[in-house]
Structure 1
Amino acid sequence: MLFHVSARLEYAVRFSSTLILNVHVQHNESQSIVTEQFGVEPVVPLEHFSVPGSDNRFVRLETGDAKSLTVSYAATVDCDHDILPTRNLEELPVGEIPPEVIPYLFPSRYCQSDKLARLAWDLFGKLPTPHDRVTGIVDWIHNNVEYLSGSTDSGTSAYDTVTQRTGVCRDFAHLGIALCRALNIPARYFTGYSYQLDPPDFHALFEAYLGGRWALFDATRLAPLNGLVRIGSGRDAADAAVATIFGGVSTRLSKVECKLGEGQNFTPLDRGDLTRAAVALETNTDATPEA
């Protein structure tokens, strides 16, 4: 499936600062980049880099004397979403999980699975299959946490979200990850461009490792899972934030788009479809997070 994605970010700069941006789409076995453009006005020193063991693509910008910055990104991406029958998503004991996936079982900064273990086992531990457990987690979050813009901040964790019962897509993703890990199901954070997301924006959700595959789950239900383009993945948002700012920079504008490519026919998967199948948009399974 072909998608056109774009982002325009405008920043006000109070003093010389550094930004690390993660807006470039990944290039991997499930995503191929057909065209891509990136620009910054005014011209400032920048560096493109990736962290070893990750497919995330970062840009580091030095603002210098600039008082404002405009960042523009656009790409045409061909995505291959796999549909995974749930009957193939079998139980994978911890003793059989590949070593490179094991770090996604551990608690992390925003996903304190160790603090949510009793809740997770009480609510979902008796469900018959790992897919049922993850689906149960997604349904529970959707039904018990209110999606409310501006209700949380960059420090909000999964434990906070359980207490506050409000959040945005990032918080829904962190809570899903934490509850999965508490049930010994590896889970990781996903950020990307999302077709049919309203209003358009960067979108966060999570992946669970089931039957040897990374399957996508979204407790917000704001967009179809087969309309995603991956930007980044990691243990939580600390590994895959769209923008990390060091200094005196504030956002003036964030405009994001994801459009269907010419000649494409798109059929969104709904909640009913996801009881029988899961969606995968995988990266290299040997990408291990840094310690």
Structure 2
Amino acid sequence: MRLHIKADLNYRFAEPTDVLLAIEAAAQPDQILVEDRLIVTGAGPLSTIPGGSRVGRRTWTRTGTGDFNAHYTATVDVERAPSTVLGLPASPLPAIPSEVVPFLWPSRYCEADRLNSFAHQEFDGLDGGDFVHAAVEWVRQHIRYVAGSSDGTTTAADTFLSRQGVCRDFAHLTAAIVRAHDIPARVVSVYAWRLDPPDFHAVVEVWLDDAWHIVDATGLAPIPGMVRMAVGRDATDVAFMTTFGAAELISQDVKVTRIDS
């Protein structure tokens, strides 16, 4: 499917501040970047760096004092058929590529070590894709999606205890449970067609059968209509905008529209 993406970020800064943006669609084998454009006002020159795990790119800039706007548009052809992880084998640990190994470990927001006992007791006898499928379904059935129920300090363990959260919390908990079972999992920021209300979205990719596969415990948008922006260990690595100073949100708007028949 061909998707048109538009994102507008409007912030206000009390003083000049360094900003790192990660809002550009990544060129990947299953999502072909037809065209895109990033326009920034209220800031200095733009400089790009590669994204983590060689997925996408990030853009540095430095704001002035006052209003800041980042306007991004893209047209992307997504060629990703619906799929399931059921039946896929887990990759033997010694065969996992070096760049994938860090996604086995606990991270700031995905405390896999704290969920180790749960992951093995709750899903006893399951492995590989069958385990991942069961873990995703468990999160979907036991965690309530509640807007505003978490903040920037909420971790997977917090979500496990509170039984509520938003998309990043669903992703953190899913990734932590999967890592606790010695399967690599990374958090992915995406644009998502049919996400309601429209916004940036967070999902998970799991390493099975020597490849990454998208899973989403929220079930809020179809996986074939997702466009990756960034991947990382948790929200720290995939934030759409990181400011190295105080910023005031004025408005934010994200729209993903299908433009083919």
TM superposition score normalised by structure 2: 0.94
Task: Output aligned runs, 1:10-159, within 5 Å.
Answer: 10-42=10-42, 44-51=44-51, 53-64=53-64, 66-84=65-83, 86=85, 89-127=88-126, 129-159=127-157
Gap runs ≥5 in structure 1: 264-291
SS at match of 2:54: coil
The 8 Å contact of residues 106 and 113 in structure 1, kept in 2 or not, is answered as: yes
Residue of 222, 225, 231 corresponding to 1:224: 222
User: Given that residues 2 and 261 in structure 1 are in contact (C-alpha distance below 8 angstroms), is that contact kept between their aligned partners in structure 2?
Assistant: yes
Question: Is the CA contact (8 Å cut-off) linking 2:87 and 2:130 kept in structure 1?
Answer: no
1:212 aligns with 2:213: no
- 8 Å CA contact 1:201–1:256 kept in 2: the answer is yes
Aligned to 2:4: 4
Distance 1:52 1:159 in 2: 25
Q: Contact between 2:12 and 2:66, CA under 8 Å: does it hold in 1? A: yes
Q: Residue 91 of structure 1: CA displacement?
A: 3.2
User: What whole-Å deviation, never above 9, does each CA across 1:64-92 have from its counterpart, x for those lacking one?
Assistant: 2x301111000001122144565761232
In structure 2, runs of 5+ residues without a counterpart are: none
Structure 1 stretches of at least 4 aligned residues deviating more than 4 Å after TM superposition: 82-88
1:182 equivalent in structure 2 = 180
Cα distance between partner residues in 1 of 2:231 and 2:185: 10
RMSD of aligned residue pairs (Cα, Å): 1.7
Change in CA separation of 1:5 and 1:106 when aligned onto 2, cut-off 3 Å: same
The answer for the alignment partner of 2:234 in structure 1 is 236
CA distance in 1, matches of 2:39, 2:84: 41
* Helix, strand or coil at the partner of 1:6: strand
Cα distance, 1:93 vs structure 2: 2.3
Cα pair 2:85 2:133 within 8 Å, conserved: no
Q: In structure 2, the residue corresponding to 1:103 is in which secondary structure?
A: helix
**Partner of 2:248: helix, strand, or coil?**
strand
Partners of 1:108 and 1:43 lie apart in 2 by: 32
